[in-house]
């Protein structure tokens, strides 16, 4: 449905200068990231496609767990999109699959939770695998 909408000019994803019609959807397991250019009409078209997906599949999209994150734009535009999709405002950096992701270079403090989590797992593994000798 999304590809057809892109072919018909109803949606345009990001990086359309590199990939025809751009990247509109990234999916991994049960996570979906929707990438759209800053255009409210295209966002309305995506919202309609999401409702059609719900009708056709019988699945329900939980907009309460969803976030709108903008790379650029002012607060009023950000709020317009959040109101359209009836979801929360999010900010960068985000965590995706436990790794921080942002539009610019990440700072050392952004990596600290991941480093601490791995150090904790490593200390547990060392304690159970090493002998007293």
Q: Would you give per-residue pLDDT tens digits along the chain (133 residues)?
A: 888 888 888 888 888 888 888 888 888 777 888 888 888 998 999 999 999 999 999 998 888 888 888 887 788 888 998 999 999 988 887 877 777 787 778 788 878 888 888 888 887 776 666 666 5
Residue 116: which domain range?
96-133
Report whether 42 contacts 12 (CB < 8 A).
Answer: yes
Q: How many domains does the chain have?
A: 2
Burial 62-86 (b: 16+ CB within 10 A, else e): eeeebebbbeeeeeeebeebbeebe
Same structural domain, 86 and 106: no
Please tell me the predicted confidence (pLDDT) of residue 131.
Answer: 65
Please tell me the predicted confidence (pLDDT) of residue 58.
Answer: 92
Same structural domain, 11 and 27: yes
Q: Quick one: CA torsion of 74, 67, 63, 51, rounded to 10 degrees?
A: 60
């Amino acid at each position: 449905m999304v590809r057809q909408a892109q072919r018909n000019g109803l949606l345009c994803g990001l990086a359309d200068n590199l990939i025809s019609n751009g990247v509109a959807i990234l999916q991994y397991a049960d996570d979906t990231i929707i990438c759209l250019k800053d255009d409210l009409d295209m966002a309305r078209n995506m919202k309609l496609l999401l409702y059609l997906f719900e009708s056709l599949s019988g699945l329900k999209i939980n907009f309460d767990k969803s976030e709108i994150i903008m790379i650029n734009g002012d607060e009023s535009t950000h709020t317009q999109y959040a109101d359209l999709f009836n979801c929360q405002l999010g900010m960068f950096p985000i965590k995706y699959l436990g790794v921080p992701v942002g539009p610019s270079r990440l700072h050392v403090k952004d990596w600290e939770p991941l480093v601490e989590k791995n150090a904790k797992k490593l200390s547990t593994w060392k304690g159970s695998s090493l002998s007293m000798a």
